[in-house]
Structure 1
Amino acid sequence: MALRSRAQSFAGGTLARGMARVNARHPWSHNDHFHPWILRNLPDRRRAALDIGCGEGALVASLAPHFTTVVGNDVDPGMLAATRARCSALPNVTVTGEAWAGLPGPFDLVTMVAVLHHLDVPAALTHVASSLAPGGRFLAVGIAPPRSARDHAWDAASILTNPVIGFVKHPRADRSGPRPTPYPVVEPTLALDDLRRHVEDVMPGARVRHRLAFRHTVAWTRPA
């Protein structure tokens, strides 16, 4: 991720260290930031939802009031335990570590937040498409390395707006210092233009868009 690497080395790293201090004092979750986008784009029919790579279960809990049943799925035992604890009072939520591609559907909503780059993308998209009910919706938030000029422009905008969003979301300074992420971290390798081609092959008409916060979104509704 060339632009971020250059920013880290600029002026001997002084700028990067300063930005890191600001971000640590005003922390915010780049992934949770997109949960409202998902909630604004729910399908009309809301019987069953599946969140793949549910992490600590924040999105699962947010989806529960809107669907008859919600399934949270993750491969990490710690994340499964956190989701079960968060959703223990939600009787319509099931949390499972089983292979998500084999879960019984169909689903009216399938979500992934910072998950798709961990997977075999063509196979994952194909499984998602087949698991959706007619009219069901796939909503994903993803990460991709910048390759094109447009990618780098969005990266630059994300670098500049990151502390601003932090101030808005977390105005009171947190002086406890940087905290390690609880999630497994895998660097993405598939550029957004390449991802878009995979998506179009499996999900014709899907909307793949750049977003701030070093993210992109994918939205597709299975034809009725």
Structure 2
Amino acid sequence: MDIRRLHHPLVRHAAQGLHTFNSRHPWSHNDHFHGWILANLPARRVAAVDIGCGQGVLVAKLAERFEHVHGTDLDAGMRIEAARRTAALANVTIDDRRLDELAGPVDLITMVAVLHHLDVEQALTDVTRLLAPGGRFLAVGLAAPGSLRDTAWDLASAVTNPIIGVIKHPRPVSGGPVPPPFPVRDPELGFDALQAIVAATLPGAVMRHRLAFRHTIVWTKPALP
């Protein structure tokens, strides 16, 4: 939630002040969750796919832990940066294939701030198709605030954001806000609506609110009898 959109003058003034402060202590809300992903990897680690791999930061980290890692992104600029970052890694493939064009089985599928760009139900159906039994889906996502609980989490994220920024980037930078290098799209589904789709498509999946305006989804495909 962008609290600068709220109309009360005092709220807007405070929000603008926070935005200015945050721009002086920038940090990547998406990269922040890479540690969570690496801490929740499946036991079998042969093949991994990162959907919407961006500049390839997570792909490079996964390449240290899997025999092969496939990063996909529809943005040509992102693919160039990802290919450059992983050029020395022989076990990495970067291309523009869509989720429904991929072939499995794979042991891990990751999405960081990607699911809200896709047809959610179709994307999760493809996840079930691609994962090997025992394989894991790890997603970090965004949802529109649709309840008081969602708004409370967004406010908590707004309050803690500058604290995390100072810890991660203590030396202030100048020049004002820098636009993200990747395509940005506001989420349309609220947390509860998204959770209902996740529960129907990935039975047993765990979806949780997180700080930094994010949520996480964990699902492990059941092993064969």
Please give the range of the TM-score, normalised by the shorter of the 2 chains: over 0.9
Q: Give runs of aligned pairs for residues 195-214 of structure 1, distance below 5 A.
A: 195-214=194-213
Kindly indicate which of the two structures has a greater share of residues assigned to helix. 1
**Counterpart AA for 1:76:** D
In 2, Cα distance between equivalents of 1:53 and 1:14: 35
**Counterpart AA for 1:201:** A
Shift of 1:20: 1.4
**Counterpart AA for 2:132:** A
Shift of 1:13: 3.1
Q: Give runs of aligned pairs for residues 2-81 of structure 1, distance below 5 A.
A: 3=3, 5-6=5-6, 9-11=8-10, 13-81=12-80
Per the normalisation by structure 2, the TM-score is 0.96
Q: What RMSD over aligned residues (CA atoms) do the two structures have, in Å?
A: 1.3
Per the normalisation by structure 1, the TM-score is 0.96
In 2, Cα distance between equivalents of 1:2 and 1:21: 13
Distance 1:10 1:162, change over 3 A: farther
SS in 2 for 1:218: strand
- Say which is worse superposed, 164-173 or 8-17, in terms of deviation: 8-17
Tell me, yes or no, if the aligned pair for 1:26 and 1:166 is still in contact at 8 Å: yes
SS in 2 for 1:65: coil
- Say which is worse superposed, 177-186 or 84-93, in terms of deviation: 177-186
**Counterpart AA for 2:71:** G
Q: Deviations over 1:112-136 (max 9, x none)?
A: 0000000000000000111000000
Matched positions, count? 223
In structure 1, the gaps of 5 or more residues are none
Tell me, yes or no, if the aligned pair for 2:4 and 2:15 is still in contact at 8 Å: no
**Match of residue 158 from structure 1:** 157
Q: Deviations over 1:93-113 (max 9, x none)?
A: 000112232222111000000
Shift of 1:206: 0.4
In structure 2, the gaps of 5 or more residues are none
